[in-house]
Structure 1
Amino acid sequence: MRFGRTAVVLGGSVAGLCAAGAVAPYFDRVLVLERDELPADAEHRRGVPQSKHPHFLLNSGRRAIGELFAGFEDDLIAAGGLHLMPSMDAAYLEASGWSSRKRSSMTMVYSSRILIERVLRDEVRQLSNVTIREGVSVRGVDVVAGGTAEGRVTGVSFSTATAGNEQMDADLVVDAMGRGSSISDWLVAAGWPETPAMTLDAKVTYTSRWYELPAPEDRPEPWWWQHLVIMPTQDKGEHPEEHEFLVNFFPIEGGRTIACMGSWGIDMPRTTEDFVASAERVRTPLFAAAMARCEPLSDVHLTRSTGNKWRRYDLLPHAPAGIVSIGDAICAFNPFYAQGISSAAGSALLLREALRSATQLDQRFFTRFLVEQRAALRVPWGMAMARDRGYECATGTEVLPAWRRKILASMTWPAFNLIIGAAREDPVVDEHFARVFNLDESMADMMKSPRVLAGLLRYKVNAALGRNRVPFGFDPTQDPPGTDWTPGAVGADAALGTPR
């Protein structure tokens, strides 16, 4: 069913491209307005500064994009994306030391953000009724009866360097303009009350540098891993501030990797010299040693715009008809939790399903969509709040009273350690935790499972009695052991290092 002649998508990044794929079957034409001049290949551009940092494509997002664009995953891998099993291909440094390596059901596709966008652009350009206009500055939205029960967005105003000011009527407008979207301000100017917003900024800063990996035959023999993850210390004693960093050595296409360090409330290195010096002080010497074997490809890139912000259009007395927001334009997350792309793709898929079942785009359609989107966003939002609310440096509307923050901070790491430990031993806990990590299940739902609770209790008892089946806590000053500890695997009974 077609709902009108024109849909206009504001923004041509991941959220906008997914939205274009979602609405294309339901309108005669779809116009994507993008401020940047888009590169033909996988290249950085001004409008996506975060593309210089690692981006996880979680399974929920991977699946949602695949629903919108059949064959996307195969195309991404064909373009250079890496299909890996993190439990086997990643060396993971927990609080107590290197974790064990074992097989699991979860796989992921690793690539750069710029490759994901390039493949998505290729997919969108195959849609005959979608046009991408580049170099466009959106100036505002056209509205009738603003702020009333009949209020509706009816089009957009924009300008280009060559054509000047233009106006486009639209049956549907999709706001995919990211964190800096001005839609809420334009709606206020048109008569709607100010949109309530939930915010929490835990002062996360992260810094990255790109490297070319050595050829496989030139890598050290213990370098079995492709992805390196170093979790922040849980030690309350004296230690270098770099021990507080969350560190990734993140593989991407083309034999390259992104070395990334981030923290909550700590100033991060901005120069190449300081970057290398900080890398030498993280919790394991392996990170700096791996960087030293690679060829630098970039300067250091630093990002501070990492606060969580949820624009609650669903709380307005009268939701504006004619417009929906997806991606960071409605709910932006601390990027550390890798939720942005998946949440944006999920909202786009939700929009497609809403259009598929609708009979008309009336006020009830947009109100219902906001309700359904709110339910979907609560899962990633809850995960971000569970961690970021525990930091004393956090600011925003969602900051907890000091006594609650201290309780949360004291519980977060023990709970995380318990779940990670149980997942190491129990395939059911492992499967549920993988679903939580990939935004397919909320933590609350996971903890309602009697089987998960039994697995956590069993692990706790076995740990107290020294009956752990899978070793962990290998010395972080040494190379991570490459033994496959999957039950029944060859060598699984041969302990390496000094495990717990």
Structure 2
Amino acid sequence: MRLGKTAVVLGGSAAGLCTAGALAPHFDEVLVLERDELPAGAAHRRGVPQSKHPHFLLNSGRRAIGALFPGFEDDLVAAGGLHLMPSMDAAYLDGAGWSARKRSAMTMIYGSRILIERVLRDKVRELANVVIREGAAVTGLTVRDGRVSGVDFSTPDGGEHLDADFVVDAMGRGSAVGGWLVAAGWPEPEVRTLDAKVTYTSRWYDLPPERPASWWWRHLVIMPTPDKGEHPAEHEFLVNFFPIEGDRVIACMGSWGLDMPRTADTFVETARRVRTPLFAAAMDRCAPTSEVHLTRSTGNKWRRYDRWASPPRGLVFVGDAICAFNPFYAQGISSAAGSALLLREHLERASGLDAAFSARFFTAQRKALGVPWSLAMARDQGYACAVGTEKPPEWRRRLLAAVSGPAFSLVVGAAREYDVVDEHFAKVFNLDESLGEMLRNPRVLAGLVRYRIRAALGKHRVPFGFDPRAEPPATDYSTAAAAAAR
């Protein structure tokens, strides 16, 4: 059903492109206004500085984008994306040492952010009624009688105005839309924040033409140490040797509240002090192809437009423009795609774009965003360096810091041996289920209890804690895991 003549999307990044796909069936024309000049291929651009770091496309995001753009996943793989099973294709260092390699319920597509956006742009350009206007910087909104009815923007040729029946803000963390609405008479929106002082630094490499026989893995993950004693600061890092298209990898180190290397020399020196020598040794075999890229803009931020008694009609928000997450948790693209798909579902049922439509959408979006938000809070609230409205009282922070690590290790350990825990843990990681839903599942609770009892008795079917100074074991323990599950 057509709901209007013109819809305008503010921003042409992943969130805006997904939204264009959601709007296309319901408006005569969809115009995407993007400040940057967009590259023809997979290349970095000024408006997406985080494209230089690893990006996971979670399963919920894969499905949402696939629903909006049929064939997206096949196109992404055809363009070089890697369809892998992390439990078989990743060497994972957690707790005391390397985890066992085994089959699991989760697969993922690996690729760079620039590849994901290039494939998305190609899909959007297949839509006859969608136009991407490049070099267009949005400068303001027109509001009449409580409705957003137009957009002002500038181009190299001067200022322009566009009447619109519907507008979507996808301009990211730095969106100015909230300020424009306040100037138009709406109250300051409540903003929930928590900045755990995450900093991460990345460098791109070409893989060697011939890889060592010991490199059964494609992805290397090093989790922060659980050791509470004296240890190098680098043992607190979250580290990825992340595979992307074109036989390349992104070497990435990140931390909560610690200084990170900014130069090539200090990047290499720092890599030699993380929990396993494998990371630096792998980098040594590869050829660097970029400078070191560092990002600090990583705080969680939720603009609660849904709490306005009378939000503006004809305007909704997607992606970081409404809810931005700590990028460590890989929730951004998938949450944005989920909001775009949710918008399409509401448009399909709508008879008009009135206040009732806005209220229904904001309510549904609030529930959807609550899942990734709760996951981000569950970890970031435990850090003493965190600041923001969601920083808990000190007693609660200490409690979270004390229990979150062991609780995570318990779930990971039980997932190694029990398929039901593995299945639901994969759903939580991929934003298909909330943490609370998983922990209320009787079968999951039974698996956790059973694992805890067997662990206390030393009766593990699937070994773990392999020496982090040694090569990760290549043995496939899937059969042992299946036996343990029985």
TM-score w.r.t. the length of structure 2 is 0.99
Deviations 1:223-272 (A, max 9, x none): 10000000001111111100000000000000000000000000100000
**1:182 paired to 2:153:** no
Q: Which residue does 2:256 correspond to in 1?
A: 264
Taking the aligned partners of 2:289 and 2:428, their CA distance within structure 1 comes to 34
Q: Which amino acid in 2 is paired with 1:32?
A: V
Taking the aligned partners of 1:105 and 1:423, their CA distance within structure 2 comes to 10
Check conservation: 2:417, 2:481, Cα contact below 8 A: no
**1:204 paired to 2:198:** yes
Which residue, 147, 156, 178 being the options, matches 1:152? 147
Deviations 1:444-474 (A, max 9, x none): 0000001000000000000011111000000
> How far did 1:105 drift?
2.1
Which residue, 185, 192, 198 being the options, matches 2:186? 192
Taking the aligned partners of 2:251 and 2:137, their CA distance within structure 1 comes to 34
Which residue, 289, 306, 321 being the options, matches 1:329? 321
Secondary structure at the aligned position of 2:173 is classed as coil
Q: Which amino acid in 2 is paired with 1:141?
A: L
Check conservation: 2:461, 2:480, Cα contact below 8 A: no
Taking the aligned partners of 1:72 and 1:113, their CA distance within structure 2 comes to 14
Secondary structure at the aligned position of 1:228 is classed as strand
* Count, aligned residues: 484
Q: Which residue does 1:497 correspond to in 2?
A: none
Taking the aligned partners of 2:299 and 2:140, their CA distance within structure 1 comes to 25
Deviations 1:1-26 (A, max 9, x none): 10110000000000000000000000
**1:319 paired to 2:314:** no
Q: Which residue does 2:66 correspond to in 1?
A: 66
Q: Which residue does 1:255 correspond to in 2?
A: 247
List, as ranges, runs of 4+ consecutive aligned residues in structure 1 with deviation greater than 3 Å. Answer: none
Fraction of identical pairs, as percent: 73
> How far did 1:489 drift?
9.5
Q: Give runs of aligned pairs for residues 56-205 of structure 1, distance below 5 A.
A: 56-145=56-145, 151-162=146-157, 164-205=158-199
Q: Which amino acid in 2 is paired with 1:178?
A: G
Check conservation: 2:140, 2:153, Cα contact below 8 A: yes
Secondary structure at the aligned position of 2:98 is classed as coil
Q: Give runs of aligned pairs for residues 446-457 of structure 1, distance below 5 A.
A: 446-457=438-449
Check conservation: 2:461, 2:481, Cα contact below 8 A: no
Secondary structure at the aligned position of 2:313 is classed as coil
Q: Give runs of aligned pairs for residues 328-407 of structure 1, distance below 5 A.
A: 328-407=320-399
Deviations 1:87-142 (A, max 9, x none): 00000001110000001121100000000000000000000000000011100000
Q: Which amino acid in 1 is paired with 2:24?
A: A
Taking the aligned partners of 1:404 and 1:466, their CA distance within structure 2 comes to 32
Q: Give runs of aligned pairs for residues 203-282 of structure 1, distance below 5 A.
A: 203-215=197-209, 218-282=210-274
Secondary structure at the aligned position of 2:61 is classed as helix
Taking the aligned partners of 2:144 and 2:88, their CA distance within structure 1 comes to 56
Which residue, 432, 435, 439 being the options, matches 2:424? 432
Taking the aligned partners of 2:53 and 2:135, their CA distance within structure 1 comes to 24
Deviations 1:62-99 (A, max 9, x none): 00000000000000000000000000000000111000
Q: Which residue does 1:498 correspond to in 2?
A: none
Secondary structure at the aligned position of 1:67 is classed as helix
**1:292 paired to 2:284:** yes
> How far did 1:48 drift?
0.1
Deviations 1:368-419 (A, max 9, x none): 1000000000000000000000000100000001011001110100100100
Taking the aligned partners of 2:459 and 2:234, their CA distance within structure 1 comes to 33
Taking the aligned partners of 1:93 and 1:155, their CA distance within structure 2 comes to 52
Taking the aligned partners of 2:259 and 2:147, their CA distance within structure 1 comes to 45
Q: Which residue does 1:35 correspond to in 2?
A: 35
Taking the aligned partners of 2:225 and 2:471, their CA distance within structure 1 comes to 18
Taking the aligned partners of 1:428 and 1:95, their CA distance within structure 2 comes to 22
> How far did 1:488 drift?
6.2
> How far did 1:144 drift?
1.2
Check conservation: 2:462, 2:480, Cα contact below 8 A: no
Q: Which amino acid in 2 is paired with 1:210?
A: W
Taking the aligned partners of 2:480 and 2:228, their CA distance within structure 1 comes to 38
**1:471 paired to 2:463:** yes
Change (3 A) 1:230 1:488: closer
Taking the aligned partners of 1:187 and 1:488, their CA distance within structure 2 comes to 59
Cα RMSD after superposing both structures: 1.2
Q: Which amino acid in 1 is paired with 2:192?
A: M
Taking the aligned partners of 1:362 and 1:414, their CA distance within structure 2 comes to 48
Secondary structure at the aligned position of 2:66 is classed as helix
Taking the aligned partners of 1:437 and 1:105, their CA distance within structure 2 comes to 11
TM-score w.r.t. the length of structure 1 is 0.96
Q: Show structure 1 runs of 5+ residues with no match.
A: 146-150, 494-500
Secondary structure at the aligned position of 1:98 is classed as strand
Secondary structure at the aligned position of 2:479 is classed as coil
Which residue, 260, 267, 275 being the options, matches 1:283? 275
